[in-house]
Each structure stands twice: as structure tokens, then as C-alpha cells.
Amino acid sequence: MTFPDFFAQVPSIVLRDRLAEFLGAAAGGLIEYGYADAVRLAGHSCPTVAGSYLLSHRALRALYGDETPLRGEIAVDFRETAAAGVSGVMAAVVGLLTGAAGAGGFKGLAGRFARRDLLRFAQELPGDIRFRRLDTGQSVTATLQLAQVPADPRLPPLLQRLLAGDDEPATRELFASLWQERVRRILLDHFDDPRLVALA
């Protein structure tokens, strides 16, 4: 699989997963995740997938500082329902990085390493998503504001043409190029932009 070159330039994040360590899946439980992992999970690269990766990265950095975040030991609450808008896509990416899962998640081993019910929807929150450390109770709420990185004005008409059956290679290529250029700007030009991801 060949990804756009900029994927490799997006900052990755290293987490410690004690279950992975316990089962011998990763030395010291350390696992590095990059944007390409989020794309593999979602099956596509779009502003929502990029924004979810960026939001999670920023929230974990705020919660843990210089410490290595503990994957599987973070509870995540969404303000929206699972079926609302892009909540499901965002939850998949957030779950990948935090290890938090819903009712179908891993139930644990003798009371340890459980991930089930660490991901909840339709919660009363002052922002989009709340991340909470299980060890300290410290939390941070993050709000994603993708409008801060607007799409190229040529994208909507190009999308309509493609959806209407336009199969010209030049149309497809221009659309894909402009689409991924917005993703690139989100992840590289605005990675630390407080207007894009507001933390509270």
C-alpha cells in the first residue's frame, strides 16, 4: 500500500499498553502509532480521521505531559450519540489510540486490563470528547473545529461531478489531490494550532 508522502511526516505517538506487555505482544508494552495506522483502521484518509488523530494526540499530551500515556487505562466520553454525525468514525480512531472500548470491548483478565465500557456516548460535556486517566482521575475535554482549515472551493463541485458519474481520470485525480491537501494542512500546518483543537 502506498500512502501520500506527508503521512510519514505527521508526528507519531508512543503509548504503553500493559496488556500488550503482559501477553508478550510488545517489549515493555510500548507501541508506536502514526497517522497511517488510523487510516488503515478507517480505510480512508479524510478531515474527520485526521482531526480525530490530532485531537487524541493533543489530549493525551495534555493529560500525560512527558509521561508515556497508558493505553487501555483511559476512559473516553463523547457528547454526541454513537449514530450522530461522524461520532462513530471519531470513536474508532480515539479507541485505537486510547484502547477505550464500548460494550463489546475486552472484559479483562481476573479484573485486570479491562477495556469494556471505557468508551461512552451521549454524555453531558462542555466540549466534544473528554479523556480521563483512570489512575489519577485527571481529565481534559477536547473540541475539534475543522472549519479553521477550510476546504478548497473547487472540492464541492468536483465531488458532485464524481457522484453524478463523471469518471474522467483528471477529475478524480484533482479531487483526490485537493482532498488530501486539506488533510495535510490539518495534520502538518495546524498540528499545534489551538484554534483547531481546543482543550479545557
Condensed to tens digits (0 to 9), the pLDDT of residues 17-44 reads 999 999 999 999 999 999 999 999 999 9
Q: Are 15 and 68 in contact (CB under 8 A)?
A: yes
Say what the pLDDT of residue 1 is: 67
Overall pTM > 0.85:
yes
Q: Is 68 exposed, middle or buried (0-12, 13-18, 19+ CB in 10 A)?
A: middle
* Alpha helical stretches, state H, 65-123: 87-98
Q: What interhelical angle do 35-42 and 47-64 show, nearest 10?
A: 130
Whole-angstrom CA distances from 8 to 72, 95, 140 are 25, 21, 27
Question: Are the C-beta atoms of residues 102 and 119 closer than 8 Å to each other?
Answer: yes
Residues of the chain where predicted confidence (pLDDT) is lower than 50: none
Q: Say how far apart CA 95 and CA 119 lie, in whole Å.
A: 8
Separation of alpha carbons 90 and 77, rounded Å: 12
When the candidates are 2.60.120, 1.20.1260, 3.30.1330, 3.40.1710, the CATH number that belongs to 8-148+182-199 is 3.30.1330
Q: Where are the domains of the chain?
A: 8-148+182-199
